[in-house]
Structure 1
Amino acid sequence: MPESKTRRKARRQADPAAETERMPLPLWYKIIMFGSMILGLLWIIVYYVTQSLFPIMSIGGWNIVVGFGIAMVGFFMTTRWHA
Structure 2
Amino acid sequence: MAVSKKRDKDVYKAPRNIGKPESENPKWLIPTALTLLITGVVWIVIYYITRGNWPLPISDWNLVVGFLGLGGGMAILTRWK
TM (normalized to structure 2)?
0.74
- Partner letter of residue 80 of structure 2? W
Aligned-pair identity in percent equals 30
Q: Calculate the aligned-residue CA RMSD, in Å.
A: 2.5
Higher helix share: 1
Q: Which runs of 5+ in 2 are unaligned?
A: 1-10
Query: After superposition, what is the alpha-carbon deviation per residue over 1:36-58, rounded to whole angstroms, capped at 9, x for unaligned?
Result: 0110000000000111110001x
Task: Name whichever of 25-34 and 37-46 sits farther off.
Answer: 25-34
Query: After superposition, what is the alpha-carbon deviation per residue over 1:10-37, rounded to whole angstroms, capped at 9, x for unaligned?
Result: 3227xx7x87742121221110011101
Structure with bigger gyration radius: 2
| 1:79 corresponds to 2:78 | yes
TM (normalized to structure 1)?
0.72
Query: After superposition, what is the alpha-carbon deviation per residue over 1:53-81, rounded to whole angstroms, capped at 9, x for unaligned?
Result: 10001x10010011000110000111111
